[in-house]
Amino acid sequence: MLWNPWHGCRKCSPGCINCYVYFLDRLRDKNAAEITKNKTSFDLPIKRDKHGNYKIPAGTELGTCFTSDFFIEEADEWRDDVWKMIKQRDDVNFLIPTKRIHRFAECIPKDWGEGYPNVTIAVSCENQAKADERLPLFLNIKSTRKIVFVSPILEYVDLSRYLASGEIDAVSVGGESYANARECNFDWVKRIFSDCQRFNVMFDFHQTGSNFIKDGVRYHIKHRDECSQAKKGEIYLHAKLSERPQ
Q: Comparing C-alpha atoms, which of 212, 150, 160 is closest to residue 187?
A: 212
Interatomic CA distance for residues 181 and 173, integer angstroms: 15
Binding region for ligand SF4 (CB under 6 A) out of 5-13, 34-42, 104-112, 185-193: 5-13
Dihedral in degrees, nearest 10, Cα atoms 160, 70, 59, 139: 30
Q: Which of 19, 44, 107, 221 binds ligand SF4 (CB under 6 A)?
A: 19
Question: Parallel, antiparallel, or unpaired for β 184-185 and 170-174?
Answer: unpaired
Q: Could you tell me which residues come within 8 angstroms of residue 108 by beta carbon, excluding any fewer than 6 positions away?
A: 83
Interatomic CA distance for residues 134 and 102, integer angstroms: 7
Buried-exposed string 98-132: b where 16+ CB fall within 10 A, e elsewhere: bbbbebbeebbeeebeebbebbbbbbbbbbeebbe
* Binders in 152-211 for ligand SF4, by CB under 6 A: none
Nearer to ligand SF4, 201 or 210 (CB): 210
Q: Check binding of 9 to ligand SF4 (CB under 6 A).
A: yes
Q: Check binding of 139 to ligand SF4 (CB under 6 A).
A: no
Distances in Å between the Cα of 68 and the Cα atoms of 3, 38, 59, 73, 119 are 11, 11, 24, 11, 17
Q: Nearest approach, Cβ of 30 to ligand SF4 (angstroms)? A: 14
- As beta bridge partners, residue 64 has 3
Nearer to ligand SF4, 68 or 143 (CB): 68
Question: Amino acid identity, residue 143?
Answer: S
Binding region for ligand SF4 (CB under 6 A) out of 4-12, 23-31, 52-60, 131-139: 4-12
Q: Which of 99, 130, 134, 182 binds ligand SF4 (CB under 6 A)?
A: 99
**By rule CB under 6 A, what count of residues binds ligand SF4?**
11
Q: Nearest approach, Cβ of 224 to ligand SF4 (angstroms)? A: 20
Nearer to ligand SF4, 201 or 207 (CB): 207
Q: Check binding of 16 to ligand SF4 (CB under 6 A).
A: yes
Element housing 95 (H / E): strand 93-98
Q: Nearest approach, Cβ of 121 to ligand SF4 (angstroms)? A: 14
Q: Which of 11, 87, 103, 231 binds ligand SF4 (CB under 6 A)?
A: 11
Nearer to ligand SF4, 15 or 89 (CB): 15
3-state secondary structure of 124: strand
Q: Check binding of 21 to ligand SF4 (CB under 6 A).
A: yes
Nearer to ligand SF4, 67 or 93 (CB): 67
For binding to ligand SF4 (CB under 6 A), which residues are involved? 9, 11-13, 15-16, 19, 21, 68-69, 99
